[in-house]
Amino acid sequence: MLLTAAPLTGCTGSGPGSGAANSPAPQSTSPQELCITIVGYWADVMLRDGRGAGLDWEQKGLSTVQRDILDEVVAAAKAMDRQVRQRCLADGDERGSPADNGGTRGRNTP
């Protein structure tokens, strides 16, 4: 038992000769930064190729709040995609430019 405990104490980074004084201090990630990172990752994955759709929120490593944010963001992005598609099909001409105003919408014309 003592033989296995001795190597473990050297792995903690504390004590003389551990090199802890020369090691950089670990940086912590705020809960907000973690939320942005993990929700952004899963939103990107789900919107690009649908991978992970079969995983539940715990398997994705999400909290319940992060799951709710992800669900809302993905639903909003899909709704926006549908709206863009509908508007372009209804209002765009075959070249993909606005059919109205002679294709000058947004230009600085007198």
User: Domain residue spans in the chain?
Assistant: 29-98
pLDDT by residue (tens digit) across 22-80? 777 778 999 999 999 999 999 999 998 777 777 889 999 999 999 999 999 999 999 99
Q: Any idea how long the chain is? A: 110
Say which residue, 95 or 88, is predicted with more confidence.
Answer: 88
Look at residue 94 in the predicted model and tell me its pLDDT. Answer: 61
pTM for this entry: 0.58
Q: What is the average pLDDT across 81-95?
A: 83
Look at residue 96 in the predicted model and tell me its pLDDT. Answer: 56
What is the SS3 assignment for 36?
helix
